[in-house]
Chains A and B, each alone.
Chain A
């Protein structure tokens, strides 16, 4: 087995949320006991609807946020505390791509200066060489030289995301966390940026955590996919396999909601409230919306179990595929 580059065990993070002027503050568990591992050159896709804790998970894996429980190990060492010198030094090896590229760029600096900045921060190369390196990286992500002097607001959305990507890759990181990197882009531009991301990942043997709500994009990028619901992984497995044969009822609903050309399949429409992490249902968090829920689901939270083929599912009913299939039909 390939040693994993990043390993997270039992990550949990709560936020205090206050309702109203005199309301009591409620602890909201955004992420609740998530474990994952990513090896060099591998992509783990994380899918889930908004509020499922995907972004918080990504930030914890990067050490941008300290987990309340659990720990992240990067390349065999514990993640340094946020803001320390070691933590800052570790940034050269792990980077993040943001959803909103305009927000992630400083609108008062020309893009060349911003792409150069990681080298300035980490004192890589001679100062004179840094500009050339930055220009080379801009060329690598498909931006021509004459854009280098421009400011972020003068670029298109796709170009901005390429700048963010170039900046993230300047220090040749080992891990890249992409938090909804193409959600803000047009569909036609999405494909270009995703292809670029895949190319660069192969070229640089990046370990990647790809967070998205878009199944299509996740499938294109990732070999392994984890489905997240209310702060927990409900299903994890090989991407093609998981989308072809989803085991968890939530994954089934997700997959059926994605349009497939040609095939006219029955779409599972979920009923009930969208998930609210402040009021986590008892037992299996998905049971109020699950078409197959039993009394056991209401009472007992299912543990993550490995079923055949490296697939892991957290569902009481998934133990018995025949039962699940019968109920679904």
Chain B
């Protein structure tokens, strides 16, 4: 009887209680990221003008103008519309690159942990090589040779930061194997794919997600840097960094061209960091 009564009782606290536990700052970060995501997905619907349409009569209009809320740039293009499209491109690059580098790095780390020996040495050597080489130089070299396209840019950025995931995944997987649960499951007869994907990956996911939130802002900044240098996203396409780069020339006369994308970069990276920090604590069931 007692057992049955307890069977029906909810095992976990309700979702409502979980929502209330989110600190206000994290709420702000979540709302900001949601807004940014919304804008990125529905950029075409949200943007009041085409991001390339010039309006020579209204050049360098200050923010607050009835037709151009965030003002216009030197060709009279609407800054708000350009900002919205930039958010889409920058987020696409940053998300794509972060996901690619997380998958790539984790896979290499797991391979190193499973095979040890030569494979591990090779992976660690590659990771050391990557870590010791300034990524910007590598990116400049590749982009200078192959020219810049969105696909290449995402792929290249995907190489950024993989060595961190590889090191973390390798270290944690090895210690998991030595610790018990992984060797216990191996001992049950589970194939290595199951041991790594069903047991080790969820156990180390919180650490990986946190390092993803650390890499994400860096990718945004890196893309901004490359675009600023003229090697990233090529005009007429626009991105946050690209806008900052071209807005630089008008910083004294029309600072809004640069300030709008710069503040989006700052707020987005800050939000991702805040969210990641909070997630790390939440994702560990033993800390709840």
Q: Chain A interface (Cβ within 8 Å of chain B)?
A: 62, 64, 83, 88-92, 95-96, 98, 100, 103-109, 117-118, 121-122, 144-146, 149-151, 153, 164, 167
CA distance A326 to B205 in the complex (A): 66
CA distance A98 to B179 in the complex (A): 11
CA distance A164 to B194 in the complex (A): 19
Is B285 a contact of A96 with CB atoms below 8 Å?
A: no
CA distance A20 to B285 in the complex (A): 39
Is A91 a contact of B187 with CB atoms below 8 Å?
A: yes
B-side interface mostly: helix
Query: Is B6's beta carbon under 8 Å from chain A?
Result: yes
Write out the residue numbers on chain A whose beta carbons fall within 8 Å of the beta carbon of B23: none
Is B188 a contact of A146 with CB atoms below 8 Å?
A: no
Given contacts A117-B188, A145-B3, are A108 and B180 in contact (CB under 8 A)?
no
Chain B 179-207: CB-based contact to A (< 8 A → 1; otherwise 0)? 11101110111111010000100110000
Query: Is B286's beta carbon under 8 Å from chain A?
Result: yes
Is A98 a contact of B285 with CB atoms below 8 Å?
A: no
Write out the residue numbers on chain A whose beta carbons fall within 8 Å of the beta carbon of B187: 62, 64, 91, 95-96
4 cross-chain pairs, A with B, having the tightest CB-CB distances, nearest first: A91-B189, A103-B180, A146-B6, A104-B184
Write out the residue numbers on chain A whose beta carbons fall within 8 Å of the beta carbon of B192: 83
Looking across the interface, which residue of chain B has its beta carbon closest to that of A122?
B189
Is B190 a contact of A145 with CB atoms below 8 Å?
A: no
Q: List 8 A-B contacts (CB under 8 A).
A: A62-B187, A106-B181, A108-B199, A108-B202, A117-B185, A117-B190, A118-B188, A153-B286
Write out the residue numbers on chain A whose beta carbons fall within 8 Å of the beta carbon of B184: 96, 98, 103-105, 164
A292 to chain B, nearest CB (A): 41
CA distance A62 to B6 in the complex (A): 39
CA distance A167 to B180 in the complex (A): 14
Is B185 a contact of A106 with CB atoms below 8 Å?
A: yes
A141 to chain B, nearest CB (A): 16
Q: Pick the contact of A105 from B3, B181, B189, B202 — CB < 8 Å? A: B181
A11 to chain B, nearest CB (A): 18
B: contact size bracket: 20 to 34
Beyond A108-B203, A108-B285, 16 extra complex contacts between A and B, CB < 8 Å: A64-B183, A88-B190, A88-B191, A91-B189, A92-B189, A98-B184, A100-B180, A104-B181, A107-B181, A117-B185, A118-B188, A121-B189, A121-B191, A144-B3, A146-B3, A146-B6
A264 to chain B, nearest CB (A): 42
Is A89 a contact of B189 with CB atoms below 8 Å?
A: yes
CA distance A149 to B3 in the complex (A): 13
Write out the residue numbers on chain A whose beta carbons fall within 8 Å of the beta carbon of B286: 107, 151, 153
Write out the residue numbers on chain A whose beta carbons fall within 8 Å of the beta carbon of B11: 149-150
Q: Which of B73-128 contact A (CB under 8 A)?
A: none
CA distance A151 to B183 in the complex (A): 19
Is A118 a contact of B180 with CB atoms below 8 Å?
A: no
CA distance A146 to B2 in the complex (A): 9
Write out the residue numbers on chain B whose beta carbons fall within 8 Å of the beta carbon of A153: 285-286
B71 to chain A, nearest CB (A): 50
Write out the residue numbers on chain B whose beta carbons fall within 8 Å of the beta carbon of A90: 189
B233 to chain A, nearest CB (A): 40
Write out the residue numbers on chain B whose beta carbons fall within 8 Å of the beta carbon of A103: 179-181, 184
Given contacts A91-B188, A118-B188, A121-B190, are A98 and B180 in contact (CB under 8 A)?
yes
Chain B 158-194: CB-based contact to A (< 8 A → 1; otherwise 0)? 0000000000000000000001110111011111101
Write out the residue numbers on chain A whose beta carbons fall within 8 Å of the beta carbon of B185: 106, 117
CA distance A146 to B6 in the complex (A): 6
CA distance A117 to B181 in the complex (A): 13
Is A145 a contact of B7 with CB atoms below 8 Å?
A: yes
CA distance A92 to B188 in the complex (A): 7
B176 to chain A, nearest CB (A): 9
Count chain A CB atoms within 10 A of each CB in B7, B179, B184, B185 and give the residue with the most.
B184
CA distance A108 to B198 in the complex (A): 10
Write out the residue numbers on chain B whose beta carbons fall within 8 Å of the beta carbon of A149: 11
Count chain B CB atoms within 10 A of each CB in A83, A106, A145 and give the residue with the most.
A106
Is B203 a contact of A107 with CB atoms below 8 Å?
A: yes
Given contacts A108-B203, A108-B285, are A88 and B189 in contact (CB under 8 A)?
yes
CA distance A283 to B183 in the complex (A): 37
CA distance A117 to B188 in the complex (A): 9
Q: Which of B1-41 contact A (CB under 8 A)?
A: 3, 6-7, 9, 11
Looking across the interface, which residue of chain B has its beta carbon closest to that of A89?
B189
Write out the residue numbers on chain A whose beta carbons fall within 8 Å of the beta carbon of B6: 145-146
CA distance A122 to B187 in the complex (A): 12
Looking across the interface, which residue of chain B has its beta carbon closest to that of A168?
B188
CA distance A83 to B193 in the complex (A): 12
Write out the residue numbers on chain A whose beta carbons fall within 8 Å of the beta carbon of B181: 103-107
Looking across the interface, which residue of chain B has its beta carbon closest to that of A164?
B184
Looking across the interface, which residue of chain A has its beta carbon closest to that of B188?
A118
CA distance A88 to B11 in the complex (A): 35
